[in-house]
Chains A and B, each alone.
Chain A
């Protein structure tokens, strides 16, 4: 084999209409029968990093200031920075050509291929979440975007709520790669009554542009 292949841990039964080869990933841009929302989008090809440092206050990953409060997030230049605890931060590169490499600084770990990364977007997203977790996404004390580290369908996850506006609601979720198949099964099953359908990356791109 001349070229490496990167396989997403997420697989939908729906057939893809349009795909794109990017950084050795086969990225689905559009699925057949996506419907009118809500949508479940596989973003496992988006670069993700963890940063660990005892002195996080002095660090500026990708030139972005790290939020001080645990569980707070900041979205700047298409990069989402989530403060996990005193010493750790997770970074999701949401826009661009997905070729952001590991920064040439100490403390970074590339976790792109060890986790799944999905987006649940559109109306009724939180009704679906309510069936899978006891976490309170509507907590008025939390301002979007914010990070939850907790169980979703009994799996320890990182969940970032990006928007709670009715039609444009949306969350991002990551968990260990091994849970991929069962997590997708659980989310699609919970979303059945709300017409949740798998969607391609195009849906996510247009959604995040409108945030």
Chain B
């Protein structure tokens, strides 16, 4: 099934309207005492979860918003935030 993504401004739309922005990795690390390795890991290393992950998307053909969604990478289906949190908790 084709990917659909729910934009917080425009609602549910075709996935082709969006650009993938990478995994959600939490806030940018503090610059104080930041080692090159830690910074490199933050920028380049990914979890590559086989399952539900939180990720960034950009609505390039629509409203131009950046936002996060939960997506199951094994089915390529978007998950509702509440349901996704529950599934993530089950795994850990």
Question: Which residues from chain A sit less than 8 Å from chain B, CB to CB?
Answer: 70-71, 84-85, 134, 148-151, 154, 156
Interface of A is mostly: loop
Q: With A and B bound together, what is the CA distance between A149 and B64 in angstroms?
A: 9
Question: Chain B contacts of A84 at CB under 8 A?
Answer: 9, 63
- Give A149 to B13 CA distance when docked, in angstroms: 11
Residue of B nearest to A156 (CB): B61
Nearest neighbor of B14 in chain A, beta-carbon distance: A134
Contacts of B17 in A (CB 8 A): 150-151
Structural contact, A70 and B60, CB atoms closer than 8 A? no
* CB-contact partner of B9 in A70, A151, A154, A156, under 8 A: A70
A156 cross-chain contacts in B, Cβ below 8 A: 60-62
Q: Give the number of residues in B that approach A within 8 Å (Cβ atoms).
A: 13
Q: How far is the CB of A47 from chain B (nearest CB, A)?
A: 23
Q: How far is the CA of A151 from the CA of B14 in the complex (A)?
A: 10
Across the interface, B10 reaches (CB within 8 A) one of A134, A150, A154, namely: A150
Interfacial chain B residues near A71, Cβ < 8 Å: 9-11
Does B65 make an interface contact (CB < 8 A)? yes
CA distance A154 to B61 in the complex (A): 8
A134 CA to B64 CA, complexed, in Å: 18
State which residues 46-68 of B face A: CB under 8 Å.
59-65
Q: Do residues B60 and A149 form an inter-chain contact, with CB atoms below 8 A?
A: no
CB neighbours (8 Å) of B14 from chain A are 134
Nearest chain A residue, comparing its CB with the CB of B13:
A150
Residues of A within 8 A of B60 (CB): 156
Is there contact, CB below 8 Å, between B63 and A85?
yes
Tell me how far the C-beta of B5 lies from the nearest C-beta in chain A, rounded to whole angstroms.
12
Q: Which residues of B contact A148 (CB under 8 A)?
A: 10
A58 to B16, CA, bound (A): 36
Say yes or no: A151 contacts B10, CB within 8 Å.
no
Min C-beta distance of B3 to chain A, whole Å: 13
Residue from A85, A150, A151, A154 within 8 A of B65 (CB atoms): A85
A-B contact pairs, 20 of them (CB 8 A): A70-B9, A70-B10, A71-B9, A71-B10, A71-B11, A84-B63, A85-B9, A85-B63, A134-B14, A148-B10, A149-B10, A149-B59, A149-B62, A149-B63, A150-B10, A150-B17, A150-B61, A151-B17, A154-B61, A156-B61
